[in-house]
């Protein structure tokens, strides 16, 4: 038995099994679930805010383009 604990591969296998058990407990914990849900909610809010900001920039650019087009047409009619 003492030889078994000195075997490096056996120790890696034992550590891996322990990691699976501990990881399973952590993943199934309520606080872990709440943290994951909060992170996803914050990410979705950031995404929605970015979409809104991008749409506002597009609208502003369209307005500027339209105003420039009207100005160019009026200058062309005056000339």
Q: Which two tokens stand for residue 57?
A: 């920039």
First to last CA, the chain: 101
Residue 27: the pLDDT is: 84
Single out the residue of 14, 66, 75 nearest to residue 4, CA to CA. Answer: 14
Domain limits, the chain? 2-78
pTM above 0.85, yes or no: no
What's the pLDDT score for residue 1?
A: 62
pLDDT score of 76: 85
CA distance 52 to 59: 11
Q: What is the pLDDT along the chain (79 residues), one digit of tens a residue?
A: 667 667 788 888 889 999 999 988 888 899 988 999 999 999 999 999 999 999 999 999 999 999 999 999 988 888 6
């Amino acid at each position: 038995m003492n030889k078994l604990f000195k075997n490096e591969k056996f120790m890696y296998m034992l550590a891996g099994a322990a990691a699976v058990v501990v990881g399973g407990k952590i993943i199934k914990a309520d606080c872990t679930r709440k943290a994951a849900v909060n992170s996803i909610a914050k990410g979705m809010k950031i995404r929605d805010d970015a979409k809104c900001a991008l749409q506002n920039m597009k609208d502003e650019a369209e307005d500027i383009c339209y105003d420039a087009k009207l100005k160019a047409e009026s200058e062309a009619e005056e000339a």
